[in-house]
Amino acid sequence: MIFVILSAILIVTGLVFFVGSAVGLLRFPDFYSRMHAAGKGDTLSSLLVLLGLAVYQLKDFHGFSEDWPILLVIIKILAISVFILITSPTSTHALMDAGWEDGIKPTIQKGSANHLEEDTKDI
Amino acid sequence: MLTKVIAFIAVAITGSLLLYGVADFPSFGDPNSPANAGVEGGAPSISQYFITESYKDTKVPNLVTSVLADYRGYDTMFETVVVFAGGMAIFAILRVLRSKEEPPKPQSRAETFVHGDHNRIIVGTTCKLVIPVIQLFALYVIAHGHHSPGGGFQGGVLIGASFILLALAADLKTALSRLNEPNYIRLACIGILIYAGFGVLCQILGGNFLDYGVLQPVLFTDGPEMARSHSMLGVEIGVALTVSTIMFAIYANLASRGTLNEGL
Amino acid sequence: MIFSFDIIILIFLVIAAVISLSVKDLLSASMIFGIYGFLICLLWAEMGAVDVAFTEAAVGAGVSAVLLIATVFNTKRRSSD
């Protein structure tokens, strides 16, 4: 029972982060902040949902001798989450870099400090 | 605009005819439909035969693999040939064999970057971590197709995708130095020859084409069932060789307009 | 097989197909075609055809999207109709 509750908490937290990243993707002003919302939110929420699924598998686990297939399922889910942990930030980074090479300028609010010129002078 | 309207009318008529046909189908997973239960007084249903007898025939728990590689082996062999022919067609259309002196391309921004090419470092390190895992998983998919979803086509596409990932992350030259053009064409041909070779070997030993049961004395197995199981693995390896190399060949020719000297 | 889930995926599938046909930018069209591949893979996995879903995930969503994008980069990017 405790595992079901724990997995429900994890999955619901993951879905909350998913909603956050979707709202950020729709509401942020420019490419870079949108990718920021999508990349960060997606990675964390996928990890949380997968961890929730892994914890949910534990509810039928009674002993190692007869329930070892459950452990195999958990190891597979954890392998998927490690894969996502590695690849999702990299793909976000590659997209950001492609956008920068393509010459997309970040939106800067009028009146706020703008360090873009001096930061990118030597590039 | 007119062509679009005509095309829409044609699609709408075809779609409504298809939907009209769907209305007569038995419902999804209906055990009493003719395909599942057979016709009364007629031949027994083929699905029932596969479900009850395929494990006894081939000792392969995954019926999809046993149907694909054994009962319908002839069909799968020519599916592989179709993939091979597609790759060869793209080779014939796109490949530029006469080497012209091309003007040097202007260097892209990543190569002229002052702070070092950090993009290359991040993406390259991730690819170094990920590509071996993809290839290992592809081998698992090929070899484990008897027990779980997977098989030659899926594993072959995964291996091809790992080479495409290498070509995307570094450049096409790096990927081609791992698997160059003569070698991938050779491997694609060898894949089909492995598949057809299993068929011809069966004929030499007195059976029908692709009737793996007669391979028992060659493969030193316990019975014809295990011979079928092992030859399915061999056939899947042939399919995987062809599909993986052809996928990479299609990508390499498409991305470099057939010159094989630059990538995306 | 869950009927309402099927209906939701099918609606998304029709939307993805219509958008990928009607959008002018061919790069966006091929990306949306990749989304279409993932949706149809989800539909097949949910109907129990795991082998077909696996093939579609590898071929339709993975490699064919890359091949389409490689083609778009070597031709012109705007659709003419």
Q: List beta partners, residue A18.
A: none
Give the chains touching C; criterion: ≥3 Cβ pairs < 8 Å.
B
Residues B181-233: tens digit of each pLDDT:
889 899 999 999 999 998 899 889 888 888 888 888 888 888 888 888 888 88
B255 and B165 in contact (C-beta within 8 Å)? Answer: no
Helix or strand or coil: residue A46?
helix
pTM value is 0.84
- pLDDT tens track, chain B, 264 positions: 788 899 989 999 999 999 999 888 888 777 777 777 777 766 777 778 888 888 888 888 888 888 888 888 889 999 999 999 999 999 888 888 776 655 555 555 444 444 446 667 888 888 888 899 999 999 999 988 888 888 888 999 999 999 988 888 877 888 888 888 889 899 999 999 999 998 899 889 888 888 888 888 888 888 888 888 888 888 999 999 999 999 999 988 888 887 777 656
Q: What 3-state DSSP class applies to C78? A: strand
Euclidean distance between CA atoms A84 and A90, whole angstroms: 10
Helix (H) or strand (E) holding C41: helix C26-46
What pLDDT was estimated at residue A123? 56
- Give kind and range of the element (H or E) at residue B155: helix B152-169
- A86: nearest CB among B115, B119, B130: B130
Write out the residues of chain B at the interface with chain A, using a CB-CB cutoff of 8 A: 108-110, 113-115, 119, 122-123, 126, 129-130, 133
Is A86's CB within 8 Å of B108's CB?
Answer: no
Q: Closest Cα partner for B83 from B232, B230, B195, B203?
A: B195
Would you list the domain boundaries of chain C? 25-75
Dihedrals phi, psi of B260, to nearest 5 degrees: 60, 25
Residue B65 Cα, gap to closest chain C Cα (Å): 9
Pick the residue from chain A with its C-alpha nearest to B113. A123
Chains that touch B (3 or more CB pairs under 8 A): A, C
What is the full DSSP assignment across A66-105? T-HHHHHHHHHHHHHHHHHHHHHHHHHHHHHHHHHHTTPP
Q: What is the enclosing helix (H) or strand (E) of A61?
A: none
Give the contacts of B164 (CB within 8 A, at least 6 positions apart).
B175, B247, B248, B251, C63, C66
Q: Which long-range contacts (CB under 8 A, 24 or more apart) does C7-13 make?
A: C9/C39, C9/C42, C9/C43, C9/C46, C10/C43, C12/C39, C13/C39, C13/C40, C13/C43
Cβ-Cβ contacts under 8 Å, B28 against chain C: 1, 47
Distance, first Cα to last Cα, chain A: 57
B116: Cβ–Cβ under 8 A, 6 or more apart, which residues? Answer: none
In angstroms, how far is CA B161 from the centroid of its own chain? 11
- Which chain A residue's Cα is nearest to B108? A101
Instruction: For residue A68, give every residue at least 6 positions away whose Cβ sits within 8 Å of its Cβ, in sequence order, or none.
Output: none
Q: Which amino acid is at B79?
A: E
* Every domain of chain B and the residues it spans: 70-96+118-264
Verify whether the Cβ–Cβ distance B119 to A123 is below 8 Å.
no
Burial of B81 from C-beta contacts in 10 A (0-12 / 13-18 / 19+): middle
Residues of B in contact with A122 (CB under 8 A): 114
